[in-house]
Each structure stands twice: as C-alpha cells, then as structure tokens.
Structure 1
Amino acid sequence: MNSSNNNAGPQGSKFNLRKELGRYLKYWYWFVAGAFVSVIAGIFYLRYTTPVYSATASIIINQETSNNRGSDMPDLGLASGLKTNNLDKEIAILKSKRLMHEVVKSLDLNITFFIDGQVRDVELYKNNPFTLKILKFNEKNASEFGGESYKADLNESGELSLTNLRNFTKINTQAGSPVDLDFATVVITPKEGISSFSNITIKFSNLESVAAAYRGGLQIIQEKEGSNVINLVMLDPVVDKARDIIDQVIFEFNRDAIDDKNLIASNTANFINERLDIINDELENVESGKEEFKESNRLTDIRTESQMFVQTASEYNERRQEIGTQIELVNAMLDYLSTSSNSELLPANLGIQESAVNQLISEYNNLVLQRNRIMRSSTELNPAVIRINNNIEQLKGNILQSLQSLRSTLRISQNEVNRQVQSVGSKILAVPSQEREYRGIERQQSIKEALYLYLLQKREENSLALAVTAPKAKIVDSAHSNGLIVSPKKKSVILGSLVLGLFLPFSVIYIRNLIDNKVRKRSDIEEFTQEIAIVGEVPKVKEKRELIIDKHDRSMLAESFRFLITNLQFVLLRTVNNQKARKILVTSTIKGEGKTFTAMNLALTLAFNRKKVLLIGADLRNPKLGKYQENFSNSLGLSDYLASNINCIEEFISNSKLNSNLKILGSGSIPPNPSELLRSEKLGTMFTDLENNYDYIIIDSAPTMLVTDTLIINKYADLILYIVKSGFTDKDLLEYVVANKRSGNMSNINFILNSVPRTELGYGNKYGYGYGVKKKTEFEWKSYFNSKTVKN
C-alpha cells in the first residue's frame, strides 16, 4: 500500500478544490431535495410552534449605609435589613425556590386555561370567559392529581360540564355551584355577558414543578460589574404573564426584606419593653424610699445647706452616673445573652459606647438573618447552615467576652471615681448623715430616670423606623415588553433549515466516500498507482440486451470499445514488433468483474473493423462464453484439444453467429486438472499455429487471485488487459496487481475500468457530448443489408 502511495501522481498529493466540489455537485439533486424538504419542515415548525415573548424590568438594590457617623442617636440596625453590600446574596434570593413558589402561589400560575385552536392550543390568560375560585384545597391529593386536565363546556341553560381528559369521566353541575375534583373543591362562574362557552381546557399543574419551570426561565443579569442595577428577564408565550411574574418577583423580594427588618424591630421592641418594665419598678422603689426618708427625718431643703460641697463633688458624680449607666446596659446585655438562643436576634445599638461590641452585635444579627433565610428552604444538615451556626457560636462567645471585659473596665473606672468621691466626702464630714444617705437615694433615682428616658427614646425611634420603611429593590423600569417574538426566530429557523438541508446530503456523501473502499472511477486507480496505464473505460450496462454490441451501434458502450481499440493500437505498436497475430489476455482479480463481457465485445469490435479475430475461452474452471452464443456450451473446446491426441486446432474452432470475422475457441469440457493441461507444451504449439491465421487472438482467462491458470498463460500474451469493475472491486486488490507487475509475473499489463456510471466517465457525458442510437441513413441501411448478405 505504501509503495502505491509513493508512485501516486501530482494530483494525488495536492488538494484540488474543483475536483472535490465535483464529487458533490454531481449529486446536486440531493442537495436541492434536502434543502427543499428541510425548509418545508422549518416552515411547519414555525407554523406549529408556540411563539415565546420576552418581558424585562430593571431594579436597583439599595446599598447599606451607616447612620452612626456624626450623630448622637445610634442606629437600631433597621435599615440594614433592607440594604446590603453583597449583591450575589440578593441575586440568590431573587432566584430562590421559595420566592418563586410564593410568586406562583400568588398569581395561581399552576392553573392554566387553554382554548382549542386550528393550529395549536392558545392559552387564555386573563381572557378566559369564567372565573375559577378554589374553596378547599387538599395538598396531599394535589401532589397525586396535580397533573389533571379538564375540558369545560357551558350551554345556554347554565349547565356546566367538566370532562377529565385522563380517564374521560364527566361531571355535570350548574355554573356557580361547588365542584369536587378529588384534590380541590372549585367554583366556576361565567363572567358578565358570557352565557355559554365550549372547548376550554383547565389544566391543574403541580405547584412545585411550575415554580421550578419559571425559576429556570427567569434570568437575573447584572447591568455591569460593580453596579447594583439588575435586569430581570422572563420568557413566556404570554406577554402579560411574563410581565406579571417579574412584577410579582420584585414585590415578593421587597416583602421578604421588610419581613426580615420587622423581625429585627420586633425583637428590639420586646427587649426595650422588658427593660422599661424593670426600670420603672426600680424607679418607683427609689422614689418611694426617698419619700419615706424625708418623712422620717423631717427634712425640707438639704440642697441649700450642702450646695458648696455638692458643687465640688458634682463632676465626680456625673462621671459615676455615666459609668453606672454603662454598667447597667452591659449587665442587661449579659443577662439577655445568657437566656437567649442562637436563633434569636440581639438588641442592636442600645447605647453601649464600645464600638467594637456594637460591630460584633451587628455581625451576629446579620448571620442569624442569613441562617434563617436559608433554613426556610433547607435543613440543619446543609453545609452552609452548619458553617453559619459555627460562626454564630463563635461571634456569641466573642460578644460575651467583650462585654465581660468592658464590664471589668467600667468597674475599675467606677472604683476610681468612688475613691475620688470618698476623698471629697471627707471634706463634708460635717454634713449630717441624713444628707449623705439622701444623696445616695437621689443618685440612684437619677440613674434610673436617665436609663428610663433613654429606653423611651429608643422605643420611639424603633416605631418611627418601622413606619417609614423603604423597599430594598427600587424599580427603575417596571416589567415591559416590545412585543417581538424571541423564539422561534423566523430568519434563524429558515436559515438553519436551509443549512441543515444542505449539510445532511453533504455529510451522507462525505461519510459514504470516507468508508467506501470500492473503485468508482478512473481517479481512484490513478491515485493508487501510476505504474499501470488505464487504456479504456466501459460504461455500465443497464439491460441484458445491451451486453453485446453490433456493427452499427453508436451507443456509449460501442464507442467505449472503439476508443479502447484505438488506445490498444498505440500500446501494441510500442510493445509488439512482429507481424503475427496480437495476443491479448483479458483477466481480473476475482470473478464477476466483467472479463468475459469485455473480451467478447473487444473481439466483436475488432471483427467489425474487418480484422480476423479468434476469441479463446481459457477459463477452464468456470466458462462463461456460452451465454453469449446459442448452442455453444456443449461444444468441444480448448480443454478437449489439450487433453486429446488431435493436433489440428481448427477442428475445435467454431464460427461466431455475430460476425463472420470472429471465430471462437470455447473452453470445452471442464477438466479435473486445468492447471496441468495449461502447462502442457501443446498449448505453446497451439498459439504458434494460430498466429499465422489471425490478426488478433483474445484470451478470456480465469481470475488471477483465485487460481494460477492465468499466470501460466500470460507468458504467451503480448498484452494483458486487467479488468477492474467500478463499484465492485476493492481498492486493496489493486495492490495485488501492482505487486504482480513489479515481480514480472504480468509485465505488459494495462487496466480497463468496467461498469463505470455515466456520471463518472472521463468523456462523453462529462463534457455534454454523449453517444446515442441514431437513425440509419439510406446508405447505412444498404451497407447493413449487404454485410448480412456477405455473412450468409
């Protein structure tokens, strides 16, 4: 195989675009048919496919800001429930199953209405002729019967008929009356002005599956990197439905954020109210003690008497009051931490002056909210929940440790202030003990009053923030649609259909050529080897009556043999110098390649040219010459001559009924030892005797690859014609022919390509000049009849 490739001509090593295109353009009708069928299929697809439209909306996600800067009023953390710095988290919420579940449930998208159309069913969205109200819904049965469909019909008398399209059971009732559908009880009421309708299909789908479908169809697109502008895109066959879904998604998203904010505000309000109740009781106790102290000691205006000393100690008292307030807040927060669970939110920004503690409380609340959101659609085993729980536990420990550290620091400061107060107190030893005790009572009263007023202020701030809530998602453009069909696109479908229609024939032809190992045309042989010339191409014969040509035949078959003879004359002139008969051996690799057919028509063509021709049937094992001449199969022939003692070969030669210039020496009887007969010296003597009596001797031999008979005879031949049948002979068999030529077994060998389709012929049909049967002129008819007379 490699040797043949080495001898390939230039056309075998260079890409020829014209040649490659020719392989496909000869099947142009396949491409036309494929494109036509594919485009028609595309048109039907456009006709019967439900068009899909697009709706779009734009929103801005509010960013988180801090209200603590430059303000004495701490932020309660309410706005942080509506604002965020994590845009990916908000996109995840917009795409969540829980949010889409609420959208489908709010819009009743799991219940759809269709009307029968001429081409396809059309969904009725907000245009159905009746209203359907669900009175009772069984969630368990809905999962089992959630895929049911019913055909609804209403006649003029108000009788409503519902037909289950699964089992074709029918329910008859009056319009406006409850109807039990196994999984739900519904009421169907015609709209005003509607007296009857028919062929309305009501489809009840599983809510979860519908939510999953719309969740997959919702596209969340960030305007650009780093931007908090988000575009929401929804595709649906009904434009109004797509718009409603997007608007409802935005509504449910904002409502979810408000619920989170309200949860923080509610926990903060509960904490403040609890502390107010405690402080109020303590304040009442202090005031009652003050009153009892004055009554028991008959005191009136102690302040005037101790004004000078109070001024000296006032600064320390204010500091001690501030520290005491901070210690009370820290103790209250520590008490709340010891009794609260990890799922409860901590009061945010109660006035603790330590910013690190406030920051830890804010981070803790954010993690609790995030964990609670995920838990609505997940379980405790979710890795994200476990991770957040670990972070919450760690943060809670950090907060506890920070508060304890802060309390220790405040107590140290308190002790220092007390020491200073005692230093000043030594200077007022002269003040009655009642004054000192009274000051202690007033100090306790002022601390409780300050804390009480502070908590009242925070409660009002909490109520005010709750009343003026702003949405997290601000709508830039509400849901809208341009009304253009998104899918299927007519131009794309038609173009795709056309490309597909052209690609399918191309791929079929390409694959067929790729896996085809048969010799099809002249170039297949030329690409394999240039050592052996192709002297002729014989067209494919469609009918048996065309197997034999006649003298005045002008068909492509006859012209191909005339063309063959012309080529043989040049080949023989170069190789044969004597004036004796030219001996031409016709063979092939295997049986069925047309060697007997070629030998017979070659002999006839030479005989029509007034040459004396002898056709020898040398295939002693499987003779085929008999089918071309009547009563010839039983006559004696070559095998009988070689096996007998008769030396006169002319006794075994018969006249052909097809032409007087053609003689035939048949194969004769099938011998048991064909190879031994052909090796006898009598065969060489026979060819010597026949050379002087004929111009051409055509030898029809056996296939070379199956038996050795041909290799025995070919030494007597001047020229070997090797038949290769188009569409029948494997390309691999050509290697066997080339090997025989190189070894010298068949030196003067030439190819004939047989049974070539007319589209693959190297002449005639290729250039638009074909041969056909033509009416004979008067001169041709006379010549024909004269030749018949001469033969007779």
Structure 2
Amino acid sequence: MESNTIDQNQQIFDFKAFVFRALSYWKWFVLLLIIGVYIVYQQNIREEFPYTLDTKITVQDDKNPLFTSNTSLIFNYGGISGKVQEVLLNLKSREHHEKVVDSLDLYLSYLTQGRFYKTDIYTAAPFKFQPLDTAFQVVGYPIKIEFKDENSFELSYDFGEEQSVATQNFVTKKVLRQSIASATFNQTYKVGEFIDLPILKGSIELKENAKIQPGKVFFIKYNGFNSTVSSFLRSYVVTNEERSPLLSVRLTNKNKAKIVDYLNTSIYILDRDQLQKKNQYAVNTINFIDKQLARVKNDLTKKADSLNDFKRDNKLFNIDNETSELSNKILEYNNQKEGYEKQLLSYDLLKNYLETSEDFTSFPAPVIEGIVDGNTQNLIAQIIQISSEKSKLQYSVRDNVSIFDDLNRQIDGLKQVLFETISSAKNNIRFQIRSINNKIYNVEREFSNLPESQQQLEAIEREYLLSQNTYNLYLAKRGEAELVKASNVSDINLLEPAKDTGQKRNARNLNIRYVFAFLGALIPILLLAFLITFFDNKIHSPNDLTKLSRLPLLGVVGKNQTDNNLAVLNKPKSAVAEAFRAVRSSLEFIYKKHDLDGSKTVMVTSSISGEGKTFCSINIASVFALGGKKTVLVGLDLRKPKIFGDFNIDNNIGAVNYLIGQKSLDEVTQGTLMENLDVITSGPIPPNPSELLISEKMDDLIEELKSKYDYIILDTPPVGLVADALELIEYADASLYVVRQDYTKKDMLHLIQDKHKKGEVTNISFLYNYYDLKGTYGYGYGYGYGYGYGAYGNGYHEDSNTNKSFLNRFKDSFKKSK
C-alpha cells in the first residue's frame, strides 16, 4: 500500500511546488527583467524610423488614331485589365529595379556620423564621388572623408583585421575579392585629384555653390549591387484595386529625397520602356523596309542611267501615238501588278511579325493594312483572342499549369494555319502577277512592228517605271511606319508624382518591446522552475512525507544556526531546542503507549550520510539530559565516527574496544560538560564492523547500559549504505529515521518502508531535519506551531523573527490574518 502511494505521488506533477519554486526565483527574474528593459531601452533610443511616400499612375488604353478601321476592331482584344496587370508585374520585377538603381547610382551612399549610427544624407552631401567606371570599388566598408579646407581632404579607412575585402565593378556587376596590404589607410588629397587605390578609384568633386566646413567628416560607402536592389525591392509596394486602372506605388526608406527620386525615376523608366515596347514593331518594320529600299534604289539608279544613256546615244526623245497607246496599256497592267505586289508585301510583313514577335494580343496597322482576305483576318482575330485569354490567366494562375500549354498549342496551331493561308494567298497573288505579265508580254509583241530603237527605248522605260513604282511603294510603307511610331503615346499616365510635402516618419509604439522583455525574463524562470520541479526527486517539506509514506512523522527540526551540532546546549531557548523538546515529548508518549518502564532505547538512522543523523542524536540526548534523565549517547557508526568532535573528547577508545573485549564499559564511557550526559564514541575503525554489531558483546553492552542509564541514544550508520543499522533495530524501543529537507531523495524511502511493510521494522518514525520555511515554497506552516519553529515561537526564542526575511514575515502576517 505504501509502495503504491509512493509510485502514485511520483507520477503527479506538483503544481503548487512549481508555483512557489518559481516565486523563489524572484531575484533572478528581477535581474533578467532589468537586463531586458535596459536592452530594449537602448534599442528604442537607437531606432531610426523610416519615411513612406507614394505616387499614383493610371494605365490607359491609348490606341493609335492612325490605325485602320479593320485594325481597330481587333487591336488589343485583352482590354485594359490585361495592361494593368502587365504594368504591375513590370513594376515588381527585379529587372525594373536594377534599371532604377543603376540610373541613380544608389549603390553609393553618402553618410554622416550620428549619435548612434551613420545617417544617409543622399544628395545633401556638398561633394560627389566620381568613380572610374572600369574600376573595382570596395563594398561594405565606409570610407572616411574629413575636409581640411575647401581644397583638400583626408581620406582614411580601417578594415579591422581583414586581409582581403570584397570589391565590385558596377558597370559589369562582377564581384572580386582582393587582398589588401594594410587594413588601415590615411592620406591627404586635393579636391579633384584622382584617388588611385587598389580598392577605390575616382575623385572627389565639389558641387556648385557648396560650402565646406573645415573638420567636417563624411563617409562614402559602396553597397553590393544585388543587395541594394533587394533592399529597395522589399520596401517597394504596388497596389491595384480590382477592375481599376489606378496603381498606387509606395516606397519606405530612411531618406525622403531618395524616396522621391526613386519613385519618380521608377515611373519614368516604366513609361520609357512601355513606349519602346509599343514602338518595337514599327522600328522592326522600318528596318526591314530600309533594307529593301537600299536594294531597289540601287536598281532604280542603274536603270535611270541606262535610259538616259540610250536616249543620248540614239537621240530619241519623243515617240509617236501608237507607241504612246501601247505604253499606256503596259502602264495600266503595271499598276495592277503594283497592287498585287503591295498585297504581297503586306503578307511578307505579316509573316515577319508572326515569326519575330512573342506577344499577339495586338496587331499594329502596317501588318494587316493591305490584307483583304477574310479568312486571314479571321485567323488573326482568333490568335488575338487566345493570346488575350492567356495574358489574363498569367496574373491569376501559376505558370506551370497545363492550361498554358494548351493555349500555346492552340496559338501555334493557328499560326501554322495562318502560315499556310499566307503561303496560299501569296501563290494566288503570284499567279495573278504572272497573268498580268503575260498580258504585258502580248502588248510588248506589238512593239515588234516598231523600229528597233523605239522598241529598245520602250523596254528600258518600262523597266525604269517598274523599279520606280516599287521604290515608291516601299517609301509609302516606310512613311506609314514612321507615322505610327511618331504618333504612339505611352499607356502610363502619372497622376501624382512623388514629392516631399513634409511627411513625418513612420513612428510606431515601441513600448510593446517592454512586454517582450517582461516575457523574456519570466519564461526562462518558469521553464527552469518547471524542469526542476518535474525532475526533482527530493523531499522539500513535511507534507511530502505524508504524501509519500504512512510512517508517522514524529517531529520537525529547524535549520541549525550554531557553529557545531550542540544546538540545544548552546542555545537552549532557540526554536531548534524547542523542536527537540517536542521530539522528546513524542518519544515519551510512544514509550507510555507501549507500557515501557525502566531504561528506554532510541535508535537514530537515515538513508545516507549528510542528512543530520548525528546532529539529531546529539541533541535528542541533550534534551533528555537537560530533563534530569541519566542519558548516554552511543556512537555505533563504526565506519565513519563523528560525535567525539562536538564534545571535544578523544576517539582513541570506544564501543569497538568494548565489543572486542578489550575495555570495560566504564573505560569506554566519557563524560561531557552537560550533567547527566555521557558519551561512548565508536573508537578505532575495525575491519569487521557488521560482525561486531551482531556479536554477543553487543547484547552485553545494551544490558549494561540499561542498568545504568534512563535513556540510551544509539547513533547508527545509514541504512541506505550499509545493513548495520537494521541489525540494531532489535535493541531499540523507538527508531527515528532522519529525513533532511532538500537533500533526501524520495526513492530513498523505499527500503525502510518495505522493511516496515514486512514487519521487519517496528516502532519507527520520521524525523524531519533542517526545516527551512524559505525552502519549502510555502509548505509546512502548521508544523511550526507544534514543534517550536513557527508562529508560536515568535518572541519566545532566541532566533525567532530576527533571522526571518521580510518575505517570510509578510507571509506569516498574512497567514495570521486568515
């Protein structure tokens, strides 16, 4: 039953002990809290709040008014929402931010030293560092610039113990780590003088109307290009309300001027890139036509020279009416041929656009202006519709889903059909051109009746006119493309440019950090208390004993405040002395209950050494002696004798000498300064202590002692270490098992409880030693009342309230009020 009680209680977490243990760590909590509050305070006063500025733009569907009616019907089938999403993605792209950072050289910072940190002054610096474009500049370290006067400055740096530093070329963006001869540098330069260092190349140039204060210190610092872009990308926010063309762009930074420049430059670059993209087809068309014009122009020049040479050589400048009529027919046929060739060119431009472009959400006017085939226009409309659907899905669906593969296959299929349609249309046009060429050939046969010179002249003129018409056609197409390019406007409209209007910093409540400081101090304390309580296997209060065992608790003895074990003798009015008197009373009650007359024997033992067994033995003997009873204290811990030191007596002879028959009882008995108290020490350490304690001489010793003394106190070895004490229990009328607070482990009680359960040990009780109210986490108040260590003793004992802490006195007063 007792064993079951122990196991059950060991499995229950003692929440009350956990709470009081945590409260006992209040000093550590206060220390951690002070440290945490100090750290938070230092962080708060060093906090540099940033600014946030914004700009607003709209995305509009600016169609070119010079597009044909056919084109305007199918241009940009995706609508304005597709453009808004495209612009939004461009603004969030890393490529866009790289252009902005490069444009403003934001990887180079100008700093001044503040109270706690270096402050970015951006363009407020009175000078500018002009770097050498091809050079590698040191990254991540501030370079100090201290002006001596308006014409000179001192440049210095300190890289600590570094032997190499990272450098970067901000044109190629290549990063290189370079070794340095010295980690420190200091040299004076003239303003405008070239600084030629392995890790820094450039010159300091003063700004116009800049005023230099001698002794003023600045810093320049290069940051890595990628890290600079990433920092702006993280603080750059673009928002758009659904179905709205309005975009709001925000940027957070510690320098307002930098925010203004960054936002406005970002919109400028976006506007430029969008317009360039919009003009790309016109540019491609112009380049294509220019190549054709160069070829046709060269051919036209040759034919013009040939015509003039023929006329000059043959002196032919006029032809008759018949020749004129035939020439008009040929000219008419050539005009028809020119129309077909114009359609052929349109199909070539359309094919070129399909082969070179990736976005088919819109088809510019020059592509389909000369195409009248309804089947071709229908295929173009289908491609635009599917491309627009794909563009919309890109903003709401992941890129790797199968729907995009399906849409791409549909577009590619339509393109292949369109290529075949273009090929068929071109073949048909070429057939028409061949038909016209046959007609021209028949007319030319009629020229055979004319004089040979006139025939040759007419042939040369026809070739010249044909080349001129082709040249005029290309010129007209180029003019159309130039006109489209010139008339294009950007789809980006800036509503509110970013500007400094006195915005304040983004201040936030930093007091919440003190809450985290409080939690940071509390949680480790609670965690430590929990872990110690959870894994704690020691006895901390008399209540623990009542939970762990059914063995009676005979008494509670307080913490010894004296220099030796003679607590009762040294301070007879102390709470400890009163506690031992209470133990004496309890023992007398036990003796009376069992009708014991004559000499009584008390055995004192414990689990292990150090639990106060000898201390209790000495003072129990002392209180019996002070009560006028003839008492003897017998040291039977033959392996580790102790009691002689407290009484200042020798241990040369003792119980061992009697047990081996070497000395008589009177010879081993020694008196003390206390009347009625004698001591028998253990004597020299024997080789066979267990055999001596179970010998017949031990029976003789007890019998002789009973004949001479009223009380016999046996100080025995710990039962948890040796079995000697168990052999002596038969001599004891009452046994005391000493348990020390915060020292004895719970599982050490298994042995004695098991012996008691089997009946091998009787009349045994616990004696709780070293009771300290501060160490019980609030337990055991009631025990102090009965054993002279609690509220009852206040004012009566020599060590009463004077030795108590303010916290314990406060607890006592609170309990009294209850």
Relative to 1, partners in 2 of residues 1:335 and 1:587: Cα closer, same or farther, differing over 3 Å? closer
Q: Are 1:540 and 2:536 matched, yes or no?
A: no
Match of 1:160 among 150, 153, 157: 153
Relative to 1, partners in 2 of residues 1:504 and 1:638: Cα closer, same or farther, differing over 3 Å? same
How much has 1:464 moved relative to structure 2? 3.7
CA contact (8 A) 2:49 2:506 kept: yes
Counterpart of 1:372 in structure 2 is none
Counterpart of 1:126 in structure 2 is 123
Amino acid at match of 1:591: S
How much has 1:391 moved relative to structure 2? 11
Distance 1:446 1:55 in 2: 63
Relative to 1, partners in 2 of residues 1:170 and 1:15: Cα closer, same or farther, differing over 3 Å? closer
Alignment of 1:238-387 (within 5 A): 238-273=255-290, 298=322, 326-331=343-348, 333-334=350-351, 350-351=367-368, 353=371, 354-355=376-377, 357-358=379-380
Relative to 1, partners in 2 of residues 1:7 and 1:174: Cα closer, same or farther, differing over 3 Å? closer
Match of 1:610 among 628, 631, 648: 628
Relative to 1, partners in 2 of residues 1:604 and 1:5: Cα closer, same or farther, differing over 3 Å? same
Counterpart of 1:189 in structure 2 is 206
How much has 1:715 moved relative to structure 2? 2.0
Alignment of 1:561-572 (within 5 A): 561-570=580-589
Amino acid at match of 2:118: D
Distance 2:261 2:32 in 1: 43
Gaps of 5+ in 2: 160-182, 308-315, 392-398, 448-457, 800-818
CA contact (8 A) 2:49 2:507 kept: yes
Counterpart of 1:408 in structure 2 is 424
Match of 1:203 among 198, 220, 224: 220
Distance 2:242 2:682 in 1: 91
Distance 1:632 1:724 in 2: 29
Q: Are 1:578 and 2:575 matched, yes or no?
A: no
- For the aligned residues, what is the CA RMSD? 5.5
Counterpart of 1:483 in structure 2 is 504
Q: Are 1:455 and 2:471 matched, yes or no?
A: no
Counterpart of 1:27 in structure 2 is 25
CA contact (8 A) 1:218 1:232 kept: no
Q: Could you report, residue by residue, the CA deviation over 1:633-689 in whole angstroms, capped at 9, with x for unpaired residues?
A: 22x33222222187x7455333332x2132222223322222112112332344344
Relative to 1, partners in 2 of residues 1:355 and 1:346: Cα closer, same or farther, differing over 3 Å? closer
CA contact (8 A) 1:268 1:346 kept: no
Alignment of 1:701-720 (within 5 A): 701-720=716-735
Amino acid at match of 2:734: L
Counterpart of 2:490 in structure 1 is 469
Relative to 1, partners in 2 of residues 1:643 and 1:736: Cα closer, same or farther, differing over 3 Å? same
Gaps of 5+ in 1: 311-316, 370-382, 777-792
Amino acid at match of 1:137: L
Alignment of 1:169-180 (within 5 A): 169-180=185-196
Amino acid at match of 1:593: E
Q: Are 1:509 and 2:529 matched, yes or no?
A: yes
Relative to 1, partners in 2 of residues 1:342 and 1:94: Cα closer, same or farther, differing over 3 Å? closer
How much has 1:491 moved relative to structure 2? 0.8
Q: Are 1:697 and 2:697 matched, yes or no?
A: no
Relative to 1, partners in 2 of residues 1:696 and 1:62: Cα closer, same or farther, differing over 3 Å? farther
Counterpart of 2:519 in structure 1 is 499
Amino acid at match of 2:696: E
Relative to 1, partners in 2 of residues 1:243 and 1:726: Cα closer, same or farther, differing over 3 Å? farther
Amino acid at match of 1:672: P
Amino acid at match of 1:162: L
CA contact (8 A) 1:639 1:669 kept: yes
SS for the counterpart of 1:532 is coil
Counterpart of 1:46 in structure 2 is 44
Relative to 1, partners in 2 of residues 1:302 and 1:296: Cα closer, same or farther, differing over 3 Å? closer
Relative to 1, partners in 2 of residues 1:221 and 1:599: Cα closer, same or farther, differing over 3 Å? farther
CA contact (8 A) 1:618 1:638 kept: yes
How much has 1:711 moved relative to structure 2? 1.2
CA contact (8 A) 1:655 1:664 kept: yes
Q: Are 1:137 and 2:132 matched, yes or no?
A: yes
Distance 1:93 1:767 in 2: 80
Q: Are 1:72 and 2:69 matched, yes or no?
A: yes
SS for the counterpart of 2:122 is coil
Q: Which moved more, 1:624-633 or 1:678-687?
A: 678-687
CA contact (8 A) 2:140 2:224 kept: no
SS for the counterpart of 1:198 is coil
Q: Could you report, residue by residue, the CA deviation over 1:308-364 in whole angstroms, capped at 9, with x for unpaired residues?
A: xx9xxxxxx99x9988754542245457878x7999999776116524653688799
Counterpart of 2:168 in structure 1 is none
Relative to 1, partners in 2 of residues 1:606 and 1:64: Cα closer, same or farther, differing over 3 Å? farther
How much has 1:590 moved relative to structure 2? 1.9
How much has 1:417 moved relative to structure 2? 13
Distance 1:347 1:275 in 2: 20
Amino acid at match of 1:501: A
Q: Could you report, residue by residue, the CA deviation over 1:578-623 in whole angstroms, capped at 9, with x for unpaired residues?
A: 2233322211222222211111112212323333332211111211
Relative to 1, partners in 2 of residues 1:333 and 1:614: Cα closer, same or farther, differing over 3 Å? same
SS for the counterpart of 1:298 is helix
How much has 1:753 moved relative to structure 2? 3.2
Relative to 1, partners in 2 of residues 1:613 and 1:322: Cα closer, same or farther, differing over 3 Å? farther
Distance 1:94 1:105 in 2: 15
Relative to 1, partners in 2 of residues 1:57 and 1:746: Cα closer, same or farther, differing over 3 Å? farther
CA contact (8 A) 2:2 2:550 kept: no
Distance 2:790 2:496 in 1: 71
Match of 1:102 among 87, 99, 103: 99
Amino acid at match of 1:711: L
SS for the counterpart of 2:573 is coil
Amino acid at match of 2:736: L
Counterpart of 1:724 in structure 2 is 739
Q: Using the aligned pairs only, state the percent identity.
A: 23
How much has 1:452 moved relative to structure 2? 6.4
Amino acid at match of 1:470: D
SS for the counterpart of 2:124 is coil
Q: Could you report, residue by residue, the CA deviation over 1:155-210 in whole angstroms, capped at 9, with x for unpaired residues?
A: 35743222233444332233354444443221232764634232523233144254
Q: Could you report, residue by residue, the CA deviation over 1:499-555 in whole angstroms, capped at 9, with x for unpaired residues?
A: 22233333333334344444333344455x133333333333465246533275333
CA contact (8 A) 1:626 1:633 kept: yes
Distance 1:417 1:152 in 2: 78
Amino acid at match of 2:127: T
Give me the TM-score of the superposition, normalised by structure 2: 0.72
Counterpart of 1:675 in structure 2 is 690
SS for the counterpart of 1:736 is helix
Give me the TM-score of the superposition, normalised by structure 1: 0.74
Amino acid at match of 1:632: D
Distance 1:768 1:91 in 2: 78
Relative to 1, partners in 2 of residues 1:573 and 1:642: Cα closer, same or farther, differing over 3 Å? same
How much has 1:701 moved relative to structure 2? 0.4
Count of residue correspondences: 719
Relative to 1, partners in 2 of residues 1:650 and 1:361: Cα closer, same or farther, differing over 3 Å? same
Distance 2:284 2:39 in 1: 65
Match of 1:599 among 591, 602, 617: 617
Amino acid at match of 2:271: N
Distance 2:68 2:17 in 1: 86
Relative to 1, partners in 2 of residues 1:477 and 1:268: Cα closer, same or farther, differing over 3 Å? same
